[in-house]
Chain A
Amino acid sequence: MLQIIKQATILGLVIPLSFVLHGCAVLHKAQLGDIDGRSSKNGTPISIKVSETTVDFGEAARIARNLGGSKSGANVLGNAASTYESYFQYGPRTGTPVFNELYARSVPNELAEKCPGGRITDMISIRETRAYPVVKGEIVRVDAVCIK
């Protein structure tokens, strides 16, 4: 009996934890570049990924409100997060707003570093989000082939 309870507890913890820690992957956009006929024969696959971690204040507000009663500290915190979101995280967007959009600027340089002196072709650019509770990772990933 004790063994069953132990196993149930472990499963009860492990399954939700694996969901929370793994995070969901949300695809926003995929874009292909031209494909070179020579790439499959004499190209080297390269891949780069840049990302920025951010906080979803809307989600934080909803969680905080559900945690406490109407006059609890969690509720006050939820309202504050909601107010912040309504002023700073509104408008059209892809994924969750980040605090610094410069993270994606290094993409051309990183690609060039991976293929010095070569031609980069067969590019696929993927814009995606790795979504954990409240915390989000906004990602730009580029897969390509380097031909020298």
Chain B
Amino acid sequence: MSKIKMGVISTVIGAMLITSGCTYTRAISQTNVPSERGKVVEASVERMMFLGIAFDNDDVPKLVEKLRDKCPNGAIRGILTKDLSTSYLIVIVRKTIAQGYCIKENLAADDADTNLKAAELETEAKI
């Protein structure tokens, strides 16, 4: 094999090792899933941290706003939140992804009413 070929292969392997990272899931949470499953909406925030150092986590609350913008005239239910981290060479990328069902506002209200009625019935049954 020529020296040039060896050089190219070494460069490709080196680049692959540097640009690929090990990823892991730190946490997952899921809220109640509605019966009416409309459009799926997804939003995420991510931060690249040199040596894993960050001085605040103020980008994370913006996730709510980003998700809300994806469903302007409705409510979002059945939200799955994933906290992920990917470790590259001297850099860690932290990502939080939220995904849920965008449903019409009246359906969301119906859902809330159903929950309320169920709670009332349960209380009456206890009495």
Q: Do A and B bind each other?
A: yes
Q: Does B81 contact A (CB under 8 A)?
A: yes
Residue of A nearest to B43 (CB): A32
Whether A128 lies near B73 (C-beta < 8 A) is: no
Given the contacts A32-B79, A33-B31, A126-B60, A26 and B54 also touching, CB distance less than 8 Å = yes
How far apart are the CA atoms of A82 and B55 in the complex, in Å?
A: 28
B57 engages A25 (CB within 8 Å): yes
Q: B75 on the interface (CB 8 Å rule)?
A: yes
Flag if B71 contacts A37 (CB, 8 Å): yes
Known interface pairs A29-B26, A30-B81, A32-B81; A24-B54 also in contact (CB < 8 Å)? yes
Per DSSP, are chain A's interface residues mostly helix, strand or loop, or mixed?
strand
Given contacts A34-B75, A36-B75, A37-B74, contact A122 B64 (CB under 8 A): yes
B19 close to chain A: CB less than 8 A:
no
Q: Which residue of A lies closest to B45 (CB)?
A: A30
Q: Are B75 and A35 in contact (CB under 8 A)?
A: yes
What's the minimum C-beta distance from A51 to chain B, rounded to whole angstroms?
Answer: 13
Closest A-chain residue to B53, C-beta based?
A24
| B105-A37 in contact (CB<8A) | yes
Least CB distance from B119 to A in Å reads: 14
* New contact pairs (16) apart from A34-B32, A37-B108, A38-B105, CB-CB < 8 Å: A24-B54, A24-B55, A25-B54, A27-B60, A28-B26, A29-B27, A29-B83, A32-B31, A34-B31, A34-B75, A34-B79, A37-B73, A40-B68, A122-B64, A126-B57, A126-B61
User: Does any Cβ of A come within 8 Å of B56's Cβ?
Assistant: yes
Q: Does A89 contact B (CB under 8 A)?
A: no
Contact with A along B83-103 (1 / 0, CB 8 A): 100000000001010101000
> How far is A128 from B71 in the complex, measured between Cα atoms in Å?
28
Binary contact track A6-37/B, C-beta < 8 Å → 1, others 0: 00000000000000001111111111111111
Cβ of B50 to closest chain A Cβ, rounded Å:
12
User: What are 26 A-B interface contacts by the 8 Å CB criterion?
Assistant: A24-B53, A30-B27, A30-B81, A31-B29, A32-B29, A32-B31, A32-B63, A32-B79, A32-B81, A34-B32, A34-B75, A34-B76, A34-B78, A35-B64, A35-B75, A35-B79, A35-B100, A36-B75, A37-B75, A37-B108, A40-B68, A122-B64, A124-B61, A124-B63, A124-B64, A126-B60
Which of chain A's residues has its CB closest to B41's CB?
A: A35
